[in-house]
């Protein structure tokens, strides 16, 4: 298989653990093991204390699958496959759904694997562009126009990385309706679900919205446990789930035994887990809003409707690549320039999930003041 480098992941591989201030992470400050274990109920405590480090059930621990199914309206444990992080879900689903000559429609800019794996399989990919001028809105009409007889899947990530886009309920119903009418799968990447700025905007999950709807979820972002490397696929299309399970025999076979038990604890404590994540993100998002408002027009943004990130724009007359490189060099602060997403604008990704956000933001503000003040 030939596949292009994953630019964002290469960028993080180079910088994530080398910089002082990570101002662009998409995950939420990770839980400590001790704090998570303190949430255990008698059943999960017994599972943890008696854990044996053998292989696990390839479909996922039955209790974990049941717990995940409980996140959805219309799913049972048999509609859930546990995988080694949402990234594996994208890989398996792309392989299960697409072959040369097939067509995929993907909202863009995007987390690269959402279109790159499809391309590597010989599928033709139409990118439906989100534009800042439209408030990064996803236009169902553009999706409709992109559909072809050979379209197999429409791919949407919402809340969206990197823009924070979140369709309205009506727009989402329209997208689901288009997919149902065309008989194509809707691959809904929901790793930022529960981080909607207004919880009333939380969308119906893909697997609930239509028979061929597929939800990708995981512990990494809203659940603040990226290190568990636990994700899942939820869909009522049992044939598709079975194909993914067979492909998984060639990737990871089964999930990590300790991680499955810890994910079960995290999901059982999800009220507190989500509340903590939402509080961190909300505070940092407000701090960033003040920064933009006080920047005398040097920065502009569309306030994200959801997720842990945003895609603001450097308005000053300088490329964001040059600005970000100098900021990194002089202040040890990391942003993700839009070019890492293959995006031509002067945007950058900023992430609100981390505890040290304010210190990095102060450095960014001081740097911008020195540079343009």
HSE-CB of 23 using CA atoms within 13 angstroms? 27
- Angle at which helices 320-331 and 357-372 cross, to 10°: 110
Kindly indicate which of the ranges 83-91, 163-171, 261-269, 313-321 contains the residues binding ligand PLP, using the contact rule CB under 6 A.
83-91
- Distance between CA atoms of 223 and 192, rounded to whole angstroms? 9
Is residue 189 at the binding interface for ligand PLP, with CB under 6 A as the rule?
yes
Query: Which run of H or E residues covers position 349?
Result: strand 348-351
Near ligand PLP in 225-244, by CB under 6 A: 226, 231
Helical packing angle, 86-97 and 113-120, nearest 10°:
40
CB of 85 to ligand PLP, least distance (A): 3
Encoded one letter per residue, x for contact with ligand PLP by CB under 6 A and - for no contact, window 140-179 reads -----------------x---x------------------
Per the rule left: phi > 0, alpha: psi between -120 and 50, beta: everything else, 148 is beta
Nearest residue (CB) to ligand PLP, 8 versus 182: 8
Instruction: Let me know the angle formed at the C-alpha of 153 by 230 and 106, rounded to the nearest 5 degrees.
Output: 80
Tell me how far, at minimum, the Cβ of 99 lies from ligand PLP, in Å.
22
d(CA 236, CA 79) in angstroms, rounded, equals 5
Supply the minimum distance, in Å, between the C-beta of residue 225 and ligand PLP.
Answer: 9
Distance between alpha carbon 125 and the CA centroid of its chain, in Å? Answer: 20
Does 112 participate in binding ligand PLP (rule CB under 6 A)? no
Q: Which C-beta is closer to ligand PLP: that of 107 or that of 123?
A: 107
Please report how close the Cβ of residue 355 comes to ligand PLP at its closest, in angstroms: 18
- H helices of the chain, in order, are 7-15, 33-37, 42-49, 62-69, 86-97, 113-120, 140-146, 169-182, 206-209, 238-248, 257-268, 270-293, 320-331, 357-372
Measured between alpha carbons, how far is 146 from 320 in angstroms, rounded to an integer? 31
Binding mask 276-315 for ligand PLP (x = CB under 6 A): ----------------------------------------
Residue 60 interacting with ligand PLP (CB under 6 A): no
> Hey, which residues between 22 and 41 contact ligand PLP (CB under 6 A)?
26
Residue 252 CB, nearest distance to ligand PLP (Å)? 12
Determine the 3-state secondary structure of 103 from DSSP: strand
Shortest distance, position 43 Cβ to ligand PLP, whole Å: 26
Q: Which residues bind ligand PLP (CB under 6 A)?
A: 26, 85-87, 111, 157, 161, 189, 191, 218, 220, 226, 231
């Amino acid at each position: 298989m030939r596949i292009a480098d994953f630019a964002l992941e290469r960028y993080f591989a180079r910088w994530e653990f080398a910089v002082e201030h990570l101002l662009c992470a998409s995950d939420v400050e990770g839980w400590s093991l001790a704090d998570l274990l303190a949430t255990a109920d008698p059943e999960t405590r017994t599972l943890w204390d008696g854990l044996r480090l053998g292989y696990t059930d390839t479909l996922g621990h039955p209790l974990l699958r049941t717990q995940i199914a409980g996140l959805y309206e219309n799913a049972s444990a048999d509609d859930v496959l546990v995988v080694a992080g949402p990234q594996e879900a994208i890989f398996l689903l792309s392989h299960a759904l697409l072959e040369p000559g097939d067509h995929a429609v993907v909202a863009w800019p995007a987390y690269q694997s959402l279109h790159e794996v499809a391309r590597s399989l010989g599928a033709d990919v139409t990118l439906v562009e989100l534009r800042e001028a439209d408030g990064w809105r996803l236009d169902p009409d553009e999706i409709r126009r992109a559909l072809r007889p050979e379209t197999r899947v429409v791919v949407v990530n919402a809340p969206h990385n990197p823009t924070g886009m979140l369709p309205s309920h009506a727009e989402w119903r329209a997208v689901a309706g288009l997919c149902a009418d065309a008989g194509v799968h809707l691959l809904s990447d929901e790793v930022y679900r529960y981080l909607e700025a207004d919880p009333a905007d939380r969308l119906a999950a893909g697997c609930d919205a239509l028979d061929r709807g597929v939800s990708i979820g995981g512990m990494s972002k809203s659940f603040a446990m990226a290190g568990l490397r636990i994700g899942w696929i939820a869909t009522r299309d049992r044939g598709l789930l079975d194909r993914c399970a067979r492909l998984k025999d060639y990737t990871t076979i089964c999930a990590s035994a300790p991680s499955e038990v810890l994910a079960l604890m995290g999901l059982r404590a999800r009220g507190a887990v989500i509340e903590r994540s939402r509080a961190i993100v909300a505070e940092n998002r407000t701090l960033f809003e003040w920064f933009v408002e006080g920047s005398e027009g040097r920065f502009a943004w569309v306030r994200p409707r959801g997720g842990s990130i945003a895609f603001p724009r450097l308005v000053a007359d300088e490329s964001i690549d040059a600005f970000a490189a100098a900021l990194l060099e002089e202040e040890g602060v990391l942003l993700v320039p839009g070019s890492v997403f293959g995006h031509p604008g002067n945007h950058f990704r900023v992430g609100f999930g981390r505890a040290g956000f304010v210190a990095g933001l102060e450095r960014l503000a001081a740097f911008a003041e020195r540079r343009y003040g």
